[in-house]
Structure 1
C-alpha cells in the first residue's frame, strides 16, 4: 500500500516561513518598483549525469507571455500550498461564505458565476427522474409528482420513512436546516422551468428558525439577495401555523372586553397544555424574529411607494428591489402575522406535535393540502 508522507511540524513551519518570506520580498519589490522574481530550483528534462537542481528565476513582467504565465502558475501553487499548511486559516466556514458573497456582490453576479459551489447538503425523496446529459442520477420509474413539500429535517425523515411520498406521488425536499444555495437553486429551477403548475408547500416548525427558513426559500437570505435564481416566491406556508399550533396547545385567543378594556390580542390568561413539553424562545431567537420582521415591513413599505420611488429604490439597491417585488403581499403579511404571534406566545412548537392529534402528521398534511386546494 502506498504511504502518504505528512510533513512534520518543524518542516511544515519551515515551508510556511519560506513562502511568507518570499511574498514579503515581492511586496518590497513592488514598493521599490522592481520586477518580481520567483526563484525556483528545477531539474533538467534531458538525461544527464549531473542531477543537481538548477536555480531558475521566474520573472514578472517577462519578455513574453510565456514567462508571465509560468510566474502566475508558480505563485498560485504556492498560495494553495500555504493555505493547506496553515491551521485554521479562515477561522470558520462563515468567514469564507461572507467574503465569497461580498465578492459576488461587488461584481454583481451570483456565487455560481464565480465557479464556487458549496457542498450540497439537501435531500430529496419522491417519484422524480433526474437526467444529467445522457446519464440518470436516479433510475427509478418516473411518475409525475402532484405536490412538492419543502420540509424541516425531522419532518422529511418522518414522512420518507413511512413512504408517504411514494403512496401519494409527492416529492419531499429538505435543506437539513437552513437551505444551501444548491438546494434552493434546484427547487427554483424545477418550480420555474419544469413544473410550474405543481404546487409547492413548506412544512416548517412554528418558531423563528422555521419561519426564517421559509423566508430564505421565498425571498433569499440577506447575504444572497442578488441571487434571484434561488428563490421560490410562490412557495406556500402550509404549516406549522399559529391557527394549527395554538388549539393543539390548548391556547385560546382573548377577545376585546369592553368592560375590562383588554385588547384583541394574546393575554396573560393563555396557558399551554401541560401534557405537552414546550420550549421558550431564547433571546437570540427573539432577535432573529425581530430582524426578519423589520425586513418584511420594509417589503410592505416598498410596495406602498409610487413608481418613481420604487425606481429610485431599485437603482439604489439594484436587485433587492426586484426581489422585494417578487413576493406576493399576502404572503408577506401572513409571515409577519405568524412571527408576531410567535413572539407574543413565547413558545417554540415543532411539527412533531401533530402526531398528538388523530391521524398524526400524515393525515394533517393531506387534509390541509385539500383545504388549500378548495380555497384556490
Structure 2
C-alpha cells in the first residue's frame, strides 16, 4: 500500500506534496545525527551563527487536497512552504530548544529499542527539562515539529499512538502467535485498539460484513454493540470516542485496504463538530498533514443529516454553541468540504441548531438499528 501511495503521488495535479517517511530506527538516528552535525558545523564556522530550523508549515494556508487518479480517496497534504523555529526571536526561542530536546529523547528511545506514548514522553521531559515543557500540548506540537524537520513519521521516532478506539461486530482479529479474537463476542465493551501501529499492521483480519460503520460517540457504539446491530446489518462497528486518534484511523485505513469493497459509513452528530470528525477520518488533519495520506479513508456520511430532523422532536434540538461556530468557520474556510457538506453546514448555521444522535431515542432505545438500516437502503449502499 505504501508503494501504491507513493506511485499515486506522481499523478496528483499538485506536485508539491510533502510527506513523512516510515523509516527504520537506524535511518532516523542518522537523520538526527546529521541535523546535530550541521548545527555544530555552523557554530564552528569562521562566521558562527545559530541558524533557524526550517519546518514544513502546518497551517491551513499551506494545505491542499489531493486528487488521485488511481484511488477514490482524497486527503489533506502540506506543500513545500516553510516556517522556522529561531533561537534569536524571543517568542520562538523555547520552541527552538524544545525541538532539540525531543530529538535527543527520541534518539535515546531508538537506541534502547523502546516505544513510548506522547504522555510518557511528556512526563519524562517535564522532569528533565521543566523550564521548557509545562504542558502536553507543548510536547505534542514539538513532536510534529520534529516530524516536519526530519520528514519521518511519529512512529518512526519511537512514539506510539495512545488509542481510545474500540471495534465490535463481524470481524476476526489475530495478532501473530495469539488466539483469534471474535469481535462479535466482545460485548458492548468491544475490542480495544492497540496504540502499537506495527502490531496493527501485522493483524490478520477476516470478515463476512458488508459495511464498516464509524460511530462518533462511545455511548452510541455501546448501544449498537449491546443490541447486536452488526447481526441485523452485517457490519463492523468502530469508534474513537470523539475526534479520532491515529491508532483508530490507522486500523480503519488497514480495514479499508483489507476489505476494499466494504462501504465505510459514518454516524455522527448533526453539528459542526460531527462534520469535523467525519472530515478527519476522510481527509486527515492539517496538524498531521505530513502523515495524513497513511490514514485517509473514503468515508461516507450516513447520518445524522439535515433530512433526519423530521425524525427529531423540536425540544431535542439545541442551539449552536460558540465552539460550534468556531469549528464551522474553520470548515468553511478549508478546501476539503464537498458541496453537499457545505450545504449541510449552511443548514446548521441558518437554523442555528444542532442535533445529537441520542435524540433518535424518542422512537425507542431499539430504534438506532432500524434507522441505520433505513439510511443504508436510502443511500443505495445495499
Pair in the same fold by TM > 0.5: yes
Distance in 2 of aligned mates of 1:174 and 1:151:
5
Candidates 81, 90, 100, aligned match of 2:143: 100
Aligned to 1:117: 160
Give the Cα–Cα distance (whole angstroms) in 2 for the partners of residues 88 and 120 of structure 1: 29
CA distance in 1, matches of 2:130, 2:166: 31
Aligned counterpart, 2:341 = 335
- Do the aligned partners of 2:316 and 2:359 also contact (CA within 8 Å) in 1? no
The CA RMSD measured in Å over matched residues stands at 3.1
Aligned match of 1:146? 210
Q: Does 1:169 pair with 2:234? A: yes
1:217 pairs, out of 281, 286, 309, with: 281
In the TM superposition, what is the alpha-carbon distance from 1:98 to its structure 2 partner? 1.5
| Aligned equivalents of 1:155, 1:368: Cα separation in 2 | 16
User: Is the 1:145–1:170 Cα contact (8 Å) retained in structure 2?
Assistant: yes
* Deviation of 1:120 (Å): 1.1
1:201 alignment counterpart: 265
How far the C-alpha of 1:84 sits from its partner, in A, is 3.6
| SS of equivalent residue, structure 1 residue 287 | helix
Q: Do 2:211 and 2:235's aligned partners in 1 also have CA atoms closer than 8 Å?
A: yes
Q: Which whole-Å CA distance do the structure 1 matches of 2:174 and 2:161 have between them? A: 21
Preserved CA contact (<8 Å) 1:129 1:136: no
Higher alpha-carbon deviation: 97-106 or 174-183? 97-106
Q: Quote the residue 2:15 is aligned against.
A: none
CA displacement at 1:92 relative to structure 2? 2.9
Q: Secondary structure at the match of 1:205?
A: coil
Other structure's SS at 2:242 match:
coil
Greater RCO (Cα-Cα under 8 Å, separation 6 or more) = 2
Q: CA deviation at 1:334?
A: 1.8
Structure 1, residues 58-94: CA drift from partner, whole Å, max 9, x if none?
Answer: xxxxxxxxxxxxxx97xx99x9977446779733322
SS of 2:181's equivalent in the other structure is coil
In the TM superposition, 1:47-58 aligns within 5 A as: none
Contact 1:129/1:137 (8 A) holds in 2: yes
Q: Which shows bigger deviation, 235-244 or 281-290?
A: 281-290
- 8 Å CA contact 1:203, 1:238 repeated in 2: yes
Gaps of 5+ in 2: 1-42, 45-106, 113-121, 185-205
Alignment of 1:255-294 (within 5 A): 273=314, 276-294=315-333
**2:171, 2:182 within 8 Å by CA — same for their partners in 1?**
no
CA displacement, residues 30-51 of structure 1 (integer Å, 9 cap, x when unaligned) = 99xxxxxxxxxxxxxxxxxxxx
Shift, 1:280, TM fit: 1.4
SS at match of 2:359: helix
Residue aligning to 1:184? 249
> 1:367 and 2:378 equivalent?
no
- CA 1:210/1:137 → structure 2, altered by over 3 Å: closer, same or farther? farther
Q: Which residue of 2 aligns with 1:6?
A: none
Deviates more, 1:138-147 or 1:338-347: 138-147
What count of residue pairs does the alignment treat as equivalent?
245
